[in-house]
Structure 1
Amino acid sequence: MTRSAVVICPGRGTYNKAELGYLKRHHADKAEFIGMVDDYRANHDQLAISALDGAERYSVGTFSRGDNASPLIYACAYSDFLSIDRSRFEIVAVTGNSMGWYIALTCAGALSPFGGMDVVNTMGTFMQESLIGGQLVYPFVDADWREIPGRRDDILEHVRLINARSHSSLYVSIELGGMLVLAGNEEGLTALETTLPRIDQRFPMRLANHAAFHTPLQEPISERGRAALGQGLFRQPDVAMVDGRGRIWYPWATDLTALGDYTLGHQVTQTYDFTAAVHTSVREFAPDCLIVLGPGNTLGGAVAQSLISCGWDGLSGKADFSARQASEPLLISMGLDEQRQWAVS
């Protein structure tokens, strides 16, 4: 029986040490696509994606760079998308987190595979060259993934007060399930780190080689992107897309100028609400399951927390979600070998 599915595309931070060799392990049959990606990189005097994936050792300094991480994750995720067994799954919509929006555009057909690579590599390289500001993450849910009353509002009040200081910039970068990704300049981030209570000796946690994505600090990157990437890249999608505001772009009814403006404008400089994207995806398309593309599984918790926050299918906490996963999986993470087999032929 065919199951309806919403596909979710990952963003930065999903290719880590455990993912080294992901393309080689899972996508030896994607030689034409990976060859195109490598040729693109060679034409821009950049290291081949296959060489990065085939490295003997993982290095944070190399693999977390935007000019390497973005196209590497793109290659892995789009290859995963091509591997989904279409005889078992009807893909009713696609969405993504942060850079995952560019991958979602490709999966939906709004960008060609080459066009997707062009957008991902160009924007990733521009952000790495400038590296304006940084990001950190902080949770507002408890161990059962239920929102702690008042914590989110408290975090946002700290952000407001710090951003009001003359030399500090601080914003909500991504609404990520049970966490807020916060971004700003060094003064703003340091002020927040000294204000927020430490949690589990992990949070607030800085993200290596991450700029202040999805904030007004990225206006110069948006302008460079618009100048380098023409509107001609965008095409009518053949699958519905849910963006970082929770808005839907329908197949064969998309204003391509507006899509380009959003992708290279609002999406770069304003908060990316991944939680809203998940809420809209399940409420409007009522899928039987959600398929999160690899590499990695860092997005799985955020998806589950987003489902819990809107009470999807009666979910009220982590225990409910785990029980549901054990009986009839609602979430399939292709970055996990034990779940990957559920999605591919």
Structure 2
Amino acid sequence: MNRVPVGLVFPGQGTQKQGMGEPWQATPSWRLTDEISAVTGEDVAELLLRTPTEHLRRTDLAQLAVFTVALMAWSEAVRTDALGGPVVACAGHSLGEYAALTAAGALSPQRAAELVAVRGRAMREAALAREGTMGVLVAAPLEQVEALVADLRDEGAEVWVANVNAPGQTVVSGSREGVAEAGERAVSIGGRMLRLEVGGAFHSPYMAPAAGSLRQALHRTAFTAGHLPVVANADAAPYTEGGVWPELGVRQLTSPVLWADSVRTLTGRLGCRRLVELGPGRTLAGLIRRIDPGVEVVSVDCPAALPLQPVVER
């Protein structure tokens, strides 16, 4: 009997909350807070233990906090050999892609943290320079959401598809007026909008000003030449060569996160039979169950979730 192949998935911004690091404080993985603080200049322990949720909505702080907790969950799972099977691939939602690259061996935790800090600050600056927002269109088919958004842009509105999260869940991004108009028209395609409390119009052209500093940071970062497959947000394709990630990382800033297709790549082409969500919250697990109901998915959002029971092919 062979243990089934495992894929690791990592959440993005939006899963942060006050005290999110408390479950990990007594584990050996807590040392990552000191290491990440040293390379980013932020007091990461303070972010994870005492910073109010309202303050954690700040883009740069949110990204660093979520990234650190994701790495602690991964580090603890690896240290205790608790994933229940061999890891064959990784993916992360937006910010989570940097944790995925770390878990796959493409980046060290310190190098990934440096990139997350640069990315978060650049995105915050872009958002402050050009106010925007995001909203989730639920229940409407993707093709009709894309057509609606295209019609709005033809009329002069600034709104784009930002995340294709799961069947019936598509995030749009742009100006407050453009996103609001998409919400008003959603009923015409059988959908409705849920507004998101975010700091900017992420994964849209509004983030283009962030590209310069992130590109410089990515190109001066040493990625491992070969690593486990990581499925990229930008095109849902798996990559195993470190040299491709600088341009993929820049492209991700202004391109939609193709999460539904990324999950299908993990469970189809890459053969993952179990997907393990590592980090705060259980958002990705819910999406994955809608994308591929046949795959096992489990969330590790605290040490008590470990170890996972092995699953074997008979």
State the TM bucket, normalised to the shorter chain. Answer: 0.7 to 0.9
2:221 is aligned, of 232, 243, 247, to 232
Mapped contact 1:332–1:343 kept (Cα < 8 A): no
Per the alignment, do residues 31 and 301 of structure 1 end up closer, same or farther by CA in structure 2, a change over 3 Å counting? closer
1:196 aligns with 2:163: no
| 2:97 counterpart of 1:97 | no
Counterpart pick for 1:208 among 193, 197, 202: 197
The amino acid that maps onto 2:210 is I
State the TM-score, normalizing by the size of structure 2: 0.87
Tell me if structure 1 keeps the 8 A contact 2:137–2:183: no
Unaligned 5+ runs, structure 2 = none
Runs of 4+ in 1 over 6 A off after TM superposition: none
The structure that is strand-richer by fraction is: 2
Q: Which letter does structure 2 place at the counterpart of 1:219?
A: A
Matches within 5 A, 1:1-345: 2-16=3-17, 20-28=18-26, 29-42=28-41, 46=42, 48-55=43-50, 58-60=52-54, 62-84=55-77, 85-86=80-81, 88-131=84-127, 132=130, 133-140=132-139, 151-166=141-156, 168-178=157-167, 179-197=169-187, 203-244=192-233, 245-250=235-240, 254=241, 256=243, 258-264=244-250, 266-308=251-293, 312=294, 330-335=296-301, 339-342=305-308
- Note the alpha carbon deviations across 1:254-273, whole angstroms, 9 max, x for none: 160x3211112x21111110
Distance 1:107 1:335 in 2: 16
SS at match of 1:68: helix
Which secondary structure does the structure 2 equivalent of 1:196 belong to?
A: helix
Distance (whole Å) between structure 2 residues aligned to residue 208 and residue 70 of structure 1: 15
AA of the residue aligned to 2:111: G
Task: State the Cα RMSD in Å.
Answer: 2.5
TM value normalised by structure 1:
0.79
Deviations 1:152-197 (A, max 9, x none): 333222211111123x211110110131011112221121122223
- Give the aligned residue type for 1:291: V
Q: Give, in angstroms, the shift of residue 32 of structure 1.
A: 3.0
* Distance across 2 between alignment mates of 1:335 and 1:6: 16
**Structure 1 regions of 5+ residues with no counterpart?**
141-147, 314-329
SS of 2:6's equivalent in the other structure is: strand
> Partner of 2:275: helix, strand, or coil?
strand
**Match in the other structure for 1:144:** none
- Judge conservation of contact 2:29–2:76 (CA < 8 Å) in 1: no
What's the offset of the Cα at 1:278?
0.4
Distance 2:11 2:161 in 1: 19
The C-alpha deviation readout for 1:201-231, integer Å capped at 9, x for no partner, is x951222234222222222111221134434
Cα shift at 1:296? 0.7
Report how far residue 50 of structure 1 moved: 0.6
CA distance in 2, matches of 1:81, 1:117: 15
Task: Give SS of 1:14's match.
Answer: coil
Q: C-alpha separation between the residues in 1 aligned to 2:16 and 2:192?
A: 21
Q: Which amino acid aligns with 2:23?
A: R
**Between 180-189 and 211-220, the greater mean CA deviation after superposition:** 211-220
1:27 and 1:79 in contact (8 A); partners too: no
Report the count of equivalent residues: 299
Q: Deviations over 1:226-256 (max 9, x none)?
A: 1344343322243111111211112xxx160
Q: Structure 1 residues 237, 206: CA separation in 2 closer, same or farther (over 3 Å shift)?
A: farther
Decide whether aligned partners of structure 1 residues 14 and 59 sit closer, same or farther in structure 2, where only a CA change above 3 A counts.
Answer: closer
Work out whether residues 109 and 236 of structure 1, in 8 Å CA contact, stay in contact via their aligned partners in 2: no
Partners in 1 of 2:23 and 2:179 — Cα distance?
A: 38
User: 2: distance between equivalents of 1:343 and 1:80?
Assistant: 16
